Every structure is written in structure tokens, then in C-alpha cells.
Structure 1
């Protein structure tokens, strides 16, 4: 009888433990990365530009897709205009997983990898199509994947387009016209070399502080895309603008690897699809918003605009060829070849 009673107690204990274990596994699966349910997540996306820009439009498209497809289980919070983190601290906060997505100008990563200088190479790409062909290609993807030791994964490049010069001193029509002026740049060795080659100075100033810096004369000028110049109203505090397309703003969409790896299969499918949707919108909007921004700048009439002739552009190309030569070893001849190949194939495109 005692043996039967003991066996019965053991059986009851096993059944209880099995039931408890089953409950634990079932409740844990909704949060576990191996589960089959969409996880509840709050995703923060921080960027430094205004709402009426390609970057913000891409972020909005990404937010709308993810929230709709997850039935509200995933919330995407977007913080534009440096309202959460600015140029100087957004990367470190991504590394710390305080924010899950950022989309900075990739030239800001030249300290991590000098190959991020590609958009700063003078006159490297004629248009967005050529730039994207490079970044979507093998070499571009290799560069975008080079930050994983920091816990950062590069996903896609969102173009903002070619940059143009504004300043407060005089029209810029030739390399000699930059002599003695100081321009704000995003930073990096190649951009510094460009202005040094033309006898000008450069200073890295956070984007959110640039309007005030121009207004107070901390720098005489800056370089940026039409959409950024228009949306941040830099033409209110500048007198001259030269249409240059000499360097580019290309944003990299980066995420935190800890966050990315925490997503289970159904959740990651939604987030990845949302990222692709945002990428498509950001790329479609880039040229349209730059064209619109240029027209608005002209309509406002705050700046005197100089459009360079092909001969004048060639003068700048010739003057800046030493920059290409100086950085070929550091950036890599294989990267140079990929840049030239993309531009040769897509440089005549109107897209």
C-alpha cells in the first residue's frame, strides 16, 4: 500500500511539474525570439533633419507599414530635428540600444572606416541612380556591414542627393573664389581636403546648430542638398548659392544588432518589410523633394544663385583631382573601381 501511495504521489508531482512547465513555455513564447507570435515592441527612430525631407518621409512610411501589419503590437516612435539625439550622440545611443534606428549622413562614420568617405569624393556620382548602384552593390554592402563590432548593422542607403554651396561673402564661380572662406561640413578627412585644396577652411558643426552658426558668422558658408537648405531655411542667413553637385549626402539606415537579433521570425518579417517600404519611399522622394526645394529657394529670392557651366564644373574637377589621388590607398583602389563602374553605367540616367 505504501509503495502504491508513493507511486501515486510521484505521478501527481510529475503531472503538476509538466503542467507548470507547459504554462511557462506557452507564456514565454510571446516574448521569446523563437516564438510564433508577433512581439510587442516599441521602436525608436531618431534623425536630425526636418519633416519635409526624404529621410522623414521614409521613416513615416516605415512606421505606418510596421504598425499596420503588426496590428499595433509594434509601435514606431520617430524623433526628427534632433529632438531625441543629435549628430554628436545618436551613434553612441544606437550602440547602447537607447534608440533602434538612426539614419545619419554616412560620411560621419569615416572615423570607423575611411571607406565611408565615398560620398565625399569630389564629383564621384552624377546622380542618385549611380550612387545607389554603388551602395547596393558588393563593395557598398561590404562597407555598410563594417560596424558590427560596435553592435551596429547597416541596412540600406537612403539618398538625399548632391550638395551645393551657400555662403555670405561672394558668388562662387571658380575654385579661387573659395580662398579664405570657412565652410561647415559634416566632417571627415576628404571633405577637409577638398576645402584645403581650394584655400578654404572647414569646420564640423552639428546640423541642428548650423542655422545659428551661419547667422552668427561662425562660418561663412555650408554645403548641403536643396531639400535641406530649403527645409532648414539656410537661405535666410546666406546671400549666395552655387549649384555644384560636387559631393553628396547619402544617409545610412542603421540598426542595433542586439535589437535586431531579439526579433523572432514573424516580427522580423514585418520590420524588414517596413524597412524596405521606407527605403523605397525615401529613394522615390529624394529627387522630387530636392527639385521642389530648389524651386522654393528660387521663389523666396533670398540668395543670388549661380549655375555653373560645364567648363566651370570641369575647372573644379581638375582642381580637386589631387584629393582622389591622396586618398586612393586609404579608401582602396577596389572601391574606386566600383565607384567609377557605377557612375559609368548609371551616370547618364535622369533618375
Structure 2
């Protein structure tokens, strides 16, 4: 009797565990989430709500809500509300946030190749940039072993635009005009070398602290796409802007790998579909908003805008050649050559 009772109990436990399936292993299915109890994706970024990135992030959140019927909710935290430049990457790796959209060069902490966007005059125009974003080389960066080792996965690129130099001292036309000025820069040795090649200094300052640094005279200038210059109101503290078009600020969507791969497949599919549509939206928006911001800058009455000629840009490019001499090996000749070959 005891023997059969034991066997019966064991059989019942086995059936119960089998019925629970994923629940026994701690996994969840889409049925565990509802509009009242949604899966939350925390999305942190550092730019203003009305910036290209800010608008694209909000668009993504809206699409996710629609496509999952409220079962997945993207909580967007703009303007460094949750994490700033210096700590959002660590927050992602530790799972404190699930998604970030830093500028590509921020990933130098993990892989020095991501400084490719800082290499002066590497990209010719917007079409060239898009060709790279869709290339095998870009795919390899997004899925590198270095990212995986930090529990991070790259999903896609959101373009922002070409960078242009601004300052509060004088118009920037020739290489000589840069000498003695100090510029705000993102972290990275490439940018330090860039300004050094122009006879200028640099200071690594978080994006959210740049306005105050310019206002207080900690730095004299900065480099930004037109839209960042406009939406962050840098024109209030920098009356001189030149269309140097020397480098890029482009964003990359990164997610916490463990979290992302734990999303039930039938929910992940519409989320990824929403991201693909948001990427198209971000690409079109970046071009529109930069054009709009340039017009705002030109008609502001407070900015002295200088449209550089190709010859003047070529002179800057020649002065910046030492950056290639110093960093080609770190970024790898293969990556640089693959980008150049797409022109």
C-alpha cells in the first residue's frame, strides 16, 4: 500500500510539473502579460524630448503599445532623467535599464572600433552613412563578442547627422581659427587627437552638462549636428557656427541581452517590428529636423553662421590626417576600408 501510494504521488507530481512547463523553470509566456499588467521596457536616453532621438523614442513606445495591444509598455526617460552619459552603459549591462540609445562613440569603453564615427571626414554624405548602416561590417559590430561578454546586444542605428563646430569667441573658417580654443567633447581619444591636431584643447563633459559648461566658460565651443545645437539651445551661449561637417553623431539602439531574449517570442516579434518602423521614422526625421534646425539657426538673429566651402573643408581634412596615422590600427584598417569602399 505504501509503495503504491508513493508511486501515485510521484506520478501526480510529474504530471503537475509537465503541465506547468515553462512556469516551473521561471519562464513567462505572453499570457502572463495584459494591458493591466504589461511587460515594461525601460528606455533611457540623454537628449531632449523634441530632439530626433527623443521623438523617435516616443514614436517607438507608441508603436509598441499599439502592436502588442498594451501588453508591452516602453517607458521612455529622456534628458538624462534616469541615467546620464557616464552611467547609462553600466546601467544597461547590469539590467537596471533595458534599452539605451547612446552615440556610437560611447561604446569605446567596450570596443575601440566604435570610435569610427569620430574619424574626421570618413563619411561623404547621408547616402554613404546609410550604406554603412546596412552593411555586413555594421552587422558585425552590433553582434560582436565584446558586446555579448557585457550582456549587451546591438539592434540598429538611428542617424542624427553630421557634426559642425561652434564657439563663443570667433568665426571658424581656417585651421588657424581653432588654435587656443577649448571644446567640449565626448569621451574618446580620437576626439582628443582631433582637437589637438587643430591646435585646440578639449574636455570630456556629459551632454546634459554641456550648456552649463559653455555658459560658465569651462569650454569655448562644441561640436553638434544642427538639431542638437538648436533643440539644446546652444545658440544662447555660442554665437558662432561653421558648417564643418567633419564627423558624425549617430545613435545605436542597445538592449540588455538577457532581458531581450527573455521576452516571449510572440511579443518580441511586434516589438522588433515597431523598432524597424521607428528606425525608418528616425532616419527620415533626422534629415527633416536638421534642415529645419539649420533654417532656425540662420534666421535666429543671434548666430553668425558660416557656410564653409569644399576647399576650406579639405584644408581641415588635411590638418586632421594625424588622427588617421594614430588610430587606424585601433579602429582596424578593415573597418575603415570597408566604410571608405561604400562611398
State the TM-score, normalized to the length of structure 2: 0.92
Give the deviation of 1:10 after TM superposition. Answer: 6.7
Aligned residues: 337
Contact 2:44 2:97 in 1 (8 A): yes
Given that 1:58 and 1:280 are in contact with CA atoms closer than 8 Å, whether structure 2 keeps it comes out as: no
Moved more, 278-287 or 124-133: 124-133
Q: Distance in 1 between matches of 2:103 and 2:3?
A: 71
Distance 1:321 1:27, change over 3 A: closer
Correspondence 1:24 to 2:20? yes
**What residue in structure 1 maps to residue 141 of structure 2?**
143
The whole-number CA distance in structure 2 between the counterparts of 1:308 and 1:26 is 61
Distance 1:14 1:103 in 2: 51
Residue by residue, what CA displacement relative to the aligned partner does 1:48-80 show, whole Å, maximum 9, x if unpaired? Answer: 001112212221222112111211111110001
**Equivalent residues of 1:179, 1:198 under 8 A apart:** yes
Provide the rounded CA distance (Å) in 2 between the counterparts of 1:14 and 1:314.
79
Query: Is 1:325 the counterpart of 2:320 in the alignment?
Result: no
Task: Check whether the contact 2:297–2:305 (CA below 8 A) recurs between aligned residues.
Answer: no
Paired position in structure 2 for 1:238:
238
In structure 2, distance between residues paired with 1:94 and 1:261: 14
How far apart, CA to CA, are the structure 2 residues paired with 1:273 and 1:238?
A: 40
Match for residue 114 of structure 1 among 99, 108, 112: 112
Q: Which of 76, 99, 111 lines up with 2:97 in the alignment? A: 99
Structure 2 matches for 1:1-351, cutoff 5 A?
13=9, 16-17=12-13, 20-21=16-17, 24-25=20-21, 32=27, 35=29, 37=31, 39=33, 40-146=38-144, 147-342=147-342, 344=343
By how many angstroms is 1:280 displaced? 1.4
Structure 1 gap ranges (5+): 345-351
Aligned mates of 2:24, 2:328 — CA distance in 1: 53
Q: Relative to structure 1, is the Cα distance of residues 27 and 112 closer, same or farther in structure 2, using a 3 angstrom cutoff?
A: closer
Q: Which runs of 5+ in 2 are unaligned?
A: none
Corresponding residue SS for 1:155? strand
Change (3 A) 1:339 1:101: same
Q: Is the 8 A contact 1:57 1:281 kept in 2?
A: no
CA RMSD for the aligned pairs?
2.1
Give the structure-1-normalised TM-score.
0.90
| Most deviating of 60-69 and 161-170 | 60-69
Question: Over alpha carbons, which structure has the higher Rg?
Answer: 1
Residues 38 and 70 in structure 1, CA contact (< 8 A), matched pair in contact too: no
Residue by residue over 1:219-242, the C-alpha shift from the partner in whole angstroms, topping out at 9 and shown as x without a partner, is: 000000111010000000112111
